[in-house]
Structure 1
Amino acid sequence: MAGSDITIHGPDGDFSAYQTGEGPAVIVLQEIFGVNAVMRELCDDYAAQGFTAICPDLFWRIKPGIQITDKTEEEWKQAFDLFSQFDVDAGIKDVAATIAQVRQSGAPKVGAVGYCLGGQLAYLTACRTDADACVGYYCVNIQTLLSEASSISHPLMLHIAGQDEFVPPEAQTQIMDALSEHGLVTIHHYAERDHAFARPGGAHYHAEDANLANARSINFLNDKLK
């Protein structure tokens, strides 16, 4: 399903987003490679499942229009440089602005799903916005943000990779210990998987567990948003 770029009017300026599909809205939160072909294809996949999918360009404050891949060392270096410059708090303001604009356009419910950096943002979206449901895949650094969990007021699902090179075992334990008893949080742990196991074509892609995680996410979003 072909999508198009739209403009989001944020509190600090306008930025672009890729949008496709019809139905309840899902804000798709990017990895560290920008709104690239992988993110656009994910949006198309959510559209095929009956959602309006919107992927905002959250790197716009650094440089608008970033679309790189995970295929070369130079691009990985650029991605980590972008990650180091990224202002998470400003990014969440942009996510909130995207949610608000989508609600104003008439979407009955709005959720969010994020990957890697976007997974962290999905967790914070659950903590800091009025999103109706959020999903985070292999979220980075949320063990440093667990004090915000008390603000979660809508359902949140997390997919944790047991062999995640960017989320060490002690961080995973902190996350699961802190959130497993939270009545609105569902955690799925994939003991043998590494970071980005659900990214098609990625070095750690695992089709079986990616399909399992994605089915869980779709069922969750169908239940909470439709």
Structure 2
Amino acid sequence: MDGQARQVENSFLPVDDGRIGLTGIVQDRAGGDEPGPAVILLHEIFGVNFAMREELVRLAGAGYLAVAPDLFHRQAPGVQLSYDPQERPMALALWQAFDTDQAVQDIEKVRAHVAADPRCDGRVAVVGFCLGGKLALLAGGRGGFAAVISYYPVQMSDFPDALDSLSTPTVIHMGDNDVHVGPAAVSHLIEAAARNDSVDFRLYPGAAHAFANRHRLEEFDAVATTQSWERNFALLDQSMSR
């Protein structure tokens, strides 16, 4: 679908204590104006930055209505951090002060909002990275999503039964050299995934945390990234066949 027109949309979704910023990318579909499926993207601890916008473009290029909510809208609305070491302390501070329960509620509101968009046929999947990977699993466990994709989810040891709640087709991508998750947490996720036929756990040899982010040069793994997105699109096509 390269070469077709893309449109970037910035909007807000009102909530009780403020408003959630939404970044959307829409690309002309082969089917014209006919509604189609959507994918919500949940960002890392660096906000909806240039790397996350690239992933929106990837999803829109595959024909999906792609939307990323600003999960830090209560703390630092619109924040977009780079991977410069000088900006990392702010990212960590945002993460440490983050309210997971509120975020999961926000994601459900965003899902309902996107599903009601006239360009969406009601089918919505979710993909998340790092912090967003955790939130994708937690929000996916509440139902409503057609598919769940989670990259290197952090802090899942705080939610030991999270994978048991998933009945939606799910894929988890993890590197076996992820120092931010750790071997004990990875082992727990593997065991939990083995108990749930809806969850496909994929471990990438030698891959580190953030292996799918080409802007994080020390961690990026091109082979693992390509393999993971092949699996993602296979899952999306199967779960939201058009």
For the superposition of Structure 1 and Structure 2, which TM-score range results when normalised by the shorter chain? over 0.9
| Contact 1:99–1:110 (8 Å) recurs in 2 | yes
- Counterpart contact for 2:8–2:26, Cα < 8 Å: yes
Kindly state the Cα deviation for residue 105 of structure 1 after the two structures are TM-superposed: 1.6
Shift of 1:11: 4.2
Match of 1:168 in 2: 182
- The structure where helix makes up a greater share of residues is 1
CA displacement at 1:154 relative to structure 2: 1.1
Is residue 169–residue 235 contact of structure 2 (8 Å, CA) maintained in 1?
A: no
**SS in structure 2 opposite 1:33?**
coil
| 1:3 paired residue number | 8
Q: Unmatched 5+ residue regions in structure 1?
A: none
**Partner in structure 1 of residue 157 of structure 2:** 143
Report which stretch shifted further, 170-179 or 141-150.
141-150
Q: CA deviation at 1:149?
A: 2.8
Residue number in structure 1 paired with 2:25: 20
1:199 Cα offset (Å): 0.1
The answer to whether residue 83 in structure 2 is matched with residue 77 in structure 1 is: no
Which residue of the partner structure matches residue 67 of structure 2?
54
CA drift of 1:7 comes to: 1.4
2:32 aligned residue: none
CA contact (8 A) 2:179 2:208 kept: yes
Separation (CA, whole Å) in 2 of partners of 1:218 and 1:168: 27
So what's the TM-score if we normalise by structure 1? 0.95
**Structure-2 residue corresponding to 1:111:** 125
SS in 2 for 1:163: coil
Partner of 1:221: 236
Amino acid at match of 1:73: P
Q: Distance in 1 between matches of 2:63 and 2:16?
A: 30
Residue 141 of structure 2 corresponds to residue 127 of structure 1 = yes
Query: Residue 201 of structure 1: CA displacement?
Result: 2.0
Q: Which amino acid aligns with 1:14?
A: R
Q: How much has 1:150 moved relative to structure 2? A: 3.0
Tell me the SS of whatever aligns to 2:215. Answer: coil
TM-superposed deviation, 1:129: 3.7
Shift of 1:211: 0.7
Matches within 5 A, 1:145-160: 145-160=159-174
1:95 alignment partner, one of 93, 98, 107: 107
Shift of 1:6: 1.6
Give structure 1 regions of 4+ aligned residues with deviation exceeding 4 angstroms.
none
User: Does the CA-based 8 Å contact 1:199-1:205 persist in structure 2?
Assistant: yes
- Give 1:155 deviation, angstroms: 1.1
Tell me the secondary structure at the aligned position of residue 111 of structure 2: helix
Structure 2 unaligned residues grouped into runs of 5+: 1-5, 28-35
| Alpha-carbon shift at residue 28 of structure 1 (Å) | 0.3
1:199 paired to 2:213: yes
Alignment size in residue pairs: 225
Shift of 1:100: 0.5
Instruction: Note the alpha carbon deviations across 1:118-139, whole angstroms, 9 max, x for none.
Output: 1001111111241111100011
Q: Tell me the CA shift for residue 156 of structure 1.
A: 1.1
Deviates more, 1:56-65 or 1:18-27: 18-27
Across the aligned residues of Structure 1 and Structure 2, the Cα RMSD in angstroms comes to 1.3
State the percentage of identical aligned residues. 31
Aligned 8 A contact 2:152 2:172 in 1: yes
Q: With structure 2 as the length reference, what TM-score do the two structures score? A: 0.89
